[in-house]
Amino acid sequence: MKRVALWASIIFVLGTVIFVLGIATVWQLYPESTYLMFAIVRGAITANHHPPKIVEGQFSDGEARRNPEHTGRKLTALLEQKFPTGTIDSVLKSELLGQGFKFLPPPPPNCLPPGQSAPVGVVFTRCFDPTNKLKYEWGDGFVCSNSLLVTWSTNGRGEITRIEAHYRETCL
């Protein structure tokens, strides 16, 4: 019995050494992969693994995957019920920020204005207005991620006049 435990310990230690040497070799041969490996590990550790509380139980992953537009409409109806026209937008922001939603970062300075065509073969970002938009992302941190983007319009008094949800799933 002691021999089995000894061999198991030796195999575990050798396996760990081989794994660490393998990672070190990959980093030496492909230094650009360091960022990717770090991003994958960080994503797995820090990712939200569940949708926000406000939409929990409103859809299944399979349903949303098959028909994201329907899921977006369903979530829009839920938000319209919870934050009807005339609700002060600070109430909406407070509720969503408290559940982990985040404001969108501004577009890069070299973004392409809407309607302007991009040169062929050039990677670009379309310009957009990040105000009145909050986003929540969740997933497994490795292969698939889901996002819920909430956009709204307000009148001059800061009251919601329109609210909309957009659901999206992205997998590698």
How much is the pLDDT for 46? 56
Residue pair 153/169 in contact (Cβ under 8 Å)? The answer is no
Are 36 and 82 in a shared domain? no
Angle between helices 33-46 and 2-29 (to 10 degrees): 120
Nearest Cα to Cα of residue 138 among 34, 33, 36, 56: 56
What distances in angstroms separate CA 5 from CA 79, 114, 138, one per listed residue? 58, 66, 41
Are 76 and 97 in a shared domain? yes
CB proximity list for 7: less than 8 A, separation 6 or greater: none
Are 62 and 38 in a shared domain? no
Are 82 and 119 in a shared domain? yes
pLDDT in tens, 12-21: 777 777 877 7
pLDDT in tens, 16-59: 778 777 767 766 776 666 656 655 565 556 567 788 888 888 87
Q: In total, how many domains does the chain have?
A: 2
Are 110 and 130 in a shared domain? yes
The model's pTM is 0.69
Are 103 and 165 in a shared domain? yes
Are 75 and 15 in a shared domain? no
User: Domain limits at 79?
Assistant: 53-171
Residue pair 35/58 in contact (Cβ under 8 Å)? The answer is no
Are 61 and 83 in a shared domain? yes
Are 145 and 74 in a shared domain? yes
pLDDT in tens, 82-124: 999 999 999 999 999 999 999 999 999 888 888 888 888 888 8
Are 60 and 103 in a shared domain? yes
